[in-house]
Chains A and B, each alone.
Chain A
């Protein structure tokens, strides 16, 4: 301080004042300049604040350290430690008639002169001032002064030496400290511990020492180099920071033997380390010749018991100004605000912006925190204009058991909410695939079955090279003279598209009826037309026009349709081919495209993207030659894969291609739920092994866990293990005997002829059978239930020991639960346990272990034990 580097201090109570001290003390007043101009003579501190110089005090030469009186004082009472070890009380106020009048100018003189390194006011007794001095061979280095001590004979008026002011008054000197500590040692830094008025932490020459003034003959100390700048975390009174050269050590006073952690060493020596008084666990550090202040955010993360992991620290730095910083001071009350001073005494008022932390909840709400504010962003309930987030959708679908209907597979799209045409198409496709695979397997247990799940692309490919099917003949309007000779593969493809039912019957009649029933007249008419039944098409359109929901214009379309002529250059053709583009309904549009097309060229139908893929593929199967068909399917497949369109699963099936398609679907939507269920539905093993598929499945399971849908997760796991036998987990937990150490179930399985299973131990089987109460290996008894005192393996018959009568009813009512009640469970901490049912009922009313004299709070140790599955909470 004396010399080049100024220091800076905020007033502890008048929060708009601060002092800059170098060779003199300068008091400034901070004002907001948001709504006003900069006043003449004031210094700009930041965009919205400025400082005005109030007064200067140069009464105290050779300043080494300054500390501001901690009680409210209008006079700005300061203690100044000087190079010769004297501590002087001085003030920056103008009013000399205050209650501190007696104190100002008072000097506290050590027996032997040496530098005063540090000063600290006691936060609890405002009259106590601790001074840390350099070493003297015969003197103490920590002196605690009572500034209000009555003038004892020790105090001798002496001639006062003042360099600047010509005051001639004599000053009272105090030479008798309240306490003297640290003989023949040096004190470099000091701070009082807030735990007790009489505890003082001092950075001594080579150690950190805690002095207890209640018993000064003892001290607690630890040898370390990090003795500079000791400071207590204002929010965590056992945490202390100190430094040495470039290294900051953080200490826990409860475990004082070594630092709990040391921060990354800086290349330059540190000059100041300070805890933020307005924010927990935030430490600011400054090094020499630096224009940045480094901040360390010490997170409170609970660490597992007995684990010596270091707390998480987030390090960042701020640059309050361009110049080197001489010193800084946190504002005592304004959050994260500090003032910095540069060596040439320019100052800057600066607020450290709080880190923003952000968290998505597993259900769609979003939270973020900044400083003391917590913001929540929740989805608006009633706003239907926006599509629901996929997470919300998946959650609702999980609740409605989406994906779990393995019999009527198509029904899953209804469970999904029946609103997504792609899902509808997907589940119908999977439904048909399942159905026809079963069919095939019944007919010929060959390899055709697996072909079905491989999709139409593979099916069509397999027919390549066979005899070209005979061309169908366009035979006019009057009568369907269907002579199409479709091969087996094409029929299978049409079946998968849903146009025709199983069996060899190629009649589309039933399909048309179902479409009409659902009110899809345009689609039905188009399908009828593509099956060359123009009369049926017209009939369907008429039906549609006359129905309630139908469009009257369908009659007009029917009329137009009836005017069909084969004539190539007719007016009808000309008009239809131009006007069809104005039709809104894609099916009506493709009908005219089909009728006006040249033979063999059906691009207007095949590439009308609004028409369902299954209809276009069925159309292609009907009308394209093998090579055309192959090319078309190939092209369409790639289109679907790129778009991640689930309708494309019809083409790709559940193959690697299908995984590619699903990958782009998941990339687009994030819907791992559909991806998981779809891939489990019938994929061959190598596809299921694909890491992407495993990834989707694992993520979906995690998602269910995050939603606390543990029952749904379990259901999914069961579903998964049914469809993918390889995913069945191996037994990971065995119950072993206390005496011989052998697994109880293992020793059973080694004697299979006895026919004993694990079920006999009340774990999964019928409780009435279980009789075994001793280890099958060594015949020693199994442990007893702490409540009923019956050996493990015996079913819970009644509920002795404080169980309620209504529970018995519960048990008999729900057999599944009763089985679970027979399970044996124990605390991993105290090793006491018993029947699960007994334990559950015990811990419903008790916190401690049921074994008398055991004080283990078993249930509280179980972090998940107190959580409730979300499904039960859900409506």
Chain B
């Protein structure tokens, strides 16, 4: 297995819902006019609480500096796991589940805080730049660690530094944060960048004007329904996470979907904002899922974490996590 340390230097920021008009100019440029910027990594996630923006340094310059923009005070680096050997077995666990054991748990053991971003194409594990020596040290036994420099991958040097945390013995990691599961059914999808202009206005509407348009069906009947939409444009690849209602607004045949038409349900983690310093949150969720061999997407935002699991597995997931939660007490 290879672990690629990408060259993007990322900022994680949050914009309150009501302040979003201040930033739409920059965000539209980043999302739809990528050729006009030097930004290579951009992600925008709307939750009921806020907008979370993950953007590289070049893209960050497109956003106006404002008191309405809360920035997590650190530069983040994205890690990407690549199955370098080209393993060939159809039933490999996918997504976060795959890397739970090899990346997330060891980092949690070393008290290294991570920030997850799953996309249609891959999973990014964001770590603070200052933690990088500990990360490479922790993971060097498991992975060939490569660094991307000017688009070319080169071997990363292992600095051999630890942060003093001794690897504890296999301890149970109970789920400590409250969980909730909205009623939305989500799809994770993508589209051909060439067709992006055709749906740009629709996307803008979905991204920025969701509050104005009340979905009568959703709002009226289902109080468990939440607002969640994620758009990312990373190295030319577009990834979208939206609920089925939103998806239906798009022309058919435009969005990339899986042949099986799978749909996902969400588990939201956290009763109050999680912050950036607590470690092991992702591990708490992903380890039980990995144990049950359930695929998952995991999207961290400024305040809460979100895991997406296949809809047919949602009850099993909730059950497993509840058990884990109960062990705490």
Q: Is B248 interfacial (CB 8 A cutoff)? A: no
Of the candidates B82, B152, B190, B295, which one forms a contact with A113 in the assembled complex, judged by CB atoms under 8 Å apart?
Answer: B190
Q: Which of B118-126, B201-209, B216-224, B314-322 is the contact stretch?
A: B118-126
Would A114 and B88 count as touching, CB distance under 8 A?
no
For the complex, what is the distance from the CA of A223 to the CA of B84, rounded to whole Å?
11
Whether A217 touches B194, Cβ cut-off 8 Å, given contacts A112-B259, A136-B120, is: no
How many residues does chain B have at the interface if contact means C-beta atoms less than 8 Å apart?
40
Which of A113, A138, A185, A218: most chain B Cβ within 10 A?
A: A138
Chain A, residue nearest B90 (CB): A180
For the complex, what is the distance from the CA of A15 to the CA of B192, rounded to whole Å?
34
For the complex, what is the distance from the CA of A211 to the CA of B86, rounded to whole Å?
9
Chain A, residue nearest B239 (CB): A137
Of the candidates A83, A112, A206, A216, which one forms a contact with B88 in the assembled complex, judged by CB atoms under 8 Å apart?
Answer: A216
Which of B4, B190, B260, B295: most chain A Cβ within 10 A?
A: B190
Would B256 and A114 count as touching, CB distance under 8 A?
yes
Residue interface bits A188-224, CB-to-B below 8 A is 1, else 0: 0000000000000000001101010000111101011
Min C-beta distance of B272 to chain A, whole Å: 30
Would A137 and B90 count as touching, CB distance under 8 A?
no
For the complex, what is the distance from the CA of A25 to the CA of B195, rounded to whole Å?
20
Which of A114, A179, A219: most chain B Cβ within 10 A?
A: A114
Contacts of B151 in A (CB 8 A): 206, 225, 244
For the complex, what is the distance from the CA of A244 to the CA of B150, rounded to whole Å?
12
Would A223 and B146 count as touching, CB distance under 8 A?
yes
Of the candidates A83, A183, A209, which one forms a contact with B87 in the assembled complex, judged by CB atoms under 8 Å apart?
Answer: A183
Of the candidates A115, A137, A183, A185, which one forms a contact with B192 in the assembled complex, judged by CB atoms under 8 Å apart?
Answer: A115
Would B153 and A207 count as touching, CB distance under 8 A?
yes
Min C-beta distance of B45 to chain A, whole Å: 17
Chain A, residue nearest B93 (CB): A138
Whether A218 touches B85, Cβ cut-off 8 Å, given contacts A137-B120, A137-B123, is: yes
Would B148 and A206 count as touching, CB distance under 8 A?
yes
Would A181 and B192 count as touching, CB distance under 8 A?
no
Q: Is B83 interfacial (CB 8 A cutoff)? A: yes
Q: Is A552 interfacial (CB 8 A cutoff)? A: no
Q: Is B258 interfacial (CB 8 A cutoff)? A: yes
Contacts of B119 in A (CB 8 A): 137
Contacts of A109 in B (CB 8 A): 259
For the complex, what is the distance from the CA of A216 to the CA of B85, rounded to whole Å?
9
Min C-beta distance of B76 to chain A, whole Å: 20
Would B153 and A206 count as touching, CB distance under 8 A?
yes
For the complex, what is the distance from the CA of A429 to the CA of B100, rounded to whole Å?
102
Chain A, residue nearest B88 (CB): A216
Residues of chain A in range 103-158 having any CB-CB distance to chain B below 8 Å = 109-115, 134-138
Chain B, residue nearest A137 (CB): B122
For the complex, what is the distance from the CA of A218 to the CA of B88, rounded to whole Å?
9
Q: Is A2 interfacial (CB 8 A cutoff)? A: yes
Contacts of B81 in A (CB 8 A): 184
Q: Is A85 interfacial (CB 8 A cutoff)? A: yes
Min C-beta distance of A199 to chain B, whole Å: 14
Contacts of A223 in B (CB 8 A): 146, 152-154
Would B258 and A112 count as touching, CB distance under 8 A?
yes
Of the candidates B190, B194, B258, which one forms a contact with A111 in the assembled complex, judged by CB atoms under 8 Å apart?
Answer: B258
Min C-beta distance of B305 to chain A, whole Å: 18
Q: Is B257 interfacial (CB 8 A cutoff)? A: yes
Min C-beta distance of A217 to chain B, whole Å: 6
Q: Is A46 interfacial (CB 8 A cutoff)? A: no
Residues of chain B in range 1-38 having any CB-CB distance to chain A below 8 Å = 4
For the complex, what is the distance from the CA of A207 to the CA of B255, rounded to whole Å?
28
Contacts of B259 in A (CB 8 A): 109-113, 175
Q: Is B106 interfacial (CB 8 A cutoff)? A: no
Would A112 and B85 count as touching, CB distance under 8 A?
no
Whether A137 touches B118, Cβ cut-off 8 Å, given contacts A184-B82, A185-B82, is: yes
Of the candidates B4, B88, B121, B148, which one forms a contact with A137 in the assembled complex, judged by CB atoms under 8 Å apart?
Answer: B121
Which of B94, B154, B192: most chain A Cβ within 10 A?
A: B192
Would A135 and B121 count as touching, CB distance under 8 A?
yes
Contacts of B295 in A (CB 8 A): 138
For the complex, what is the distance from the CA of A136 to the CA of B189, rounded to whole Å?
10
Contacts of B174 in A (CB 8 A): none
Whether A217 touches B88, Cβ cut-off 8 Å, given contacts A111-B260, A206-B148, is: yes
Residue interface bits B86-105, CB-to-A below 8 A is 1, else 0: 11101010110000000000
Residue interface bits B241-266, CB-to-A below 8 A is 1, else 0: 00000000000110111111000000
Min C-beta distance of A185 to chain B, whole Å: 6
For the complex, what is the distance from the CA of A111 to the CA of B154, rounded to whole Å?
32
Residues of chain B in range 287-316 having any CB-CB distance to chain A below 8 Å = 295
Would A182 and B120 count as touching, CB distance under 8 A?
no
Min C-beta distance of B90 to chain A, whole Å: 7
Interface of A is mostly: loop
Whether A135 touches B194, Cβ cut-off 8 Å, given contacts A161-B253, A183-B87, A219-B86, is: no
Whether A184 touches B86, Cβ cut-off 8 Å, given contacts A138-B295, A175-B259, A225-B151, is: no
For the complex, what is the distance from the CA of A62 to the CA of B194, rounded to whole Å?
10
How many residues does chain A have at the interface if contact means C-beta atoms less than 8 Å apart?
41
Contacts of B257 in A (CB 8 A): 112-113
Q: Is B237 interfacial (CB 8 A cutoff)? A: yes
Would A84 and B88 count as touching, CB distance under 8 A?
no
Chain B, residue nearest A114 (CB): B256
For the complex, what is the distance from the CA of A225 to the CA of B7, rounded to whole Å?
14
For the complex, what is the distance from the CA of A134 to the CA of B4, rounded to whole Å?
18
For the complex, what is the distance from the CA of A180 to the CA of B81, rounded to whole Å?
19
Q: Is A267 interfacial (CB 8 A cutoff)? A: no
Which of B87, B120, B237, B295: most chain A Cβ within 10 A?
A: B120
For the complex, what is the distance from the CA of A244 to the CA of B257, rounded to whole Å?
30
Chain B, residue nearest A213 (CB): B88
Whether A217 touches B86, Cβ cut-off 8 Å, given contacts A175-B259, A206-B151, is: yes
Would B86 and A3 count as touching, CB distance under 8 A?
no
Min C-beta distance of A586 to chain B, whole Å: 83
Chain A, residue nearest B89 (CB): A217
Chain A, residue nearest B96 (CB): A137
For the complex, what is the distance from the CA of A515 to the CA of B194, rounded to whole Å?
99
Whether A181 touches B86, Cβ cut-off 8 Å, given contacts A111-B259, A138-B94, A224-B152, is: yes
Contacts of A84 in B (CB 8 A): 192, 253, 256
For the complex, what is the distance from the CA of A99 to the CA of B216, rounded to whole Å?
55
Contacts of A136 in B (CB 8 A): 120-121
Residues of chain A in range 217-256 having any CB-CB distance to chain B below 8 Å = 217-219, 221, 223-225, 244
Min C-beta distance of A723 to chain B, whole Å: 65
Would A135 and B122 count as touching, CB distance under 8 A?
yes
Of the candidates A83, A180, A217, which one forms a contact with B85 in the assembled complex, judged by CB atoms under 8 Å apart?
Answer: A217
Contacts of B146 in A (CB 8 A): 223
Min C-beta distance of B60 to chain A, whole Å: 24
For the complex, what is the distance from the CA of A84 to the CA of B82, rounded to whole Å?
23
Min C-beta distance of B103 to chain A, whole Å: 13
Would A206 and B152 count as touching, CB distance under 8 A?
yes
Residues of chain B in range 158-206 having any CB-CB distance to chain A below 8 Å = 190, 192, 194-195
Contacts of A181 in B (CB 8 A): 86, 88
For the complex, what is the distance from the CA of A110 to the CA of B295, rounded to whole Å?
19
Whether A113 touches B87, Cβ cut-off 8 Å, given contacts A83-B194, A224-B152, is: no
For the complex, what is the distance from the CA of A48 to the CA of B118, rounded to whole Å?
58
List 26 A–B pairs whose Cβ atoms lie within 8 Å, in order of A's numbering. Answer: A111-B258, A111-B260, A112-B256, A112-B257, A112-B258, A113-B258, A114-B121, A114-B190, A114-B256, A134-B121, A134-B237, A137-B95, A137-B121, A137-B122, A175-B259, A183-B92, A185-B82, A186-B237, A206-B148, A207-B153, A211-B86, A217-B86, A218-B85, A218-B86, A223-B146, A224-B152
Nearest 10 pairs of A and B residues by beta carbon: A113-B256, A138-B94, A135-B121, A216-B88, A83-B192, A223-B153, A219-B86, A112-B258, A137-B122, A225-B151
Known A-B contacts: A113-B190, A136-B121, A223-B146. Give 20 more (CB < 8 A): A62-B192, A111-B258, A112-B120, A112-B256, A112-B257, A113-B256, A113-B257, A115-B192, A135-B237, A136-B120, A137-B119, A137-B122, A161-B252, A185-B83, A206-B4, A206-B153, A217-B85, A219-B85, A223-B152, A225-B151
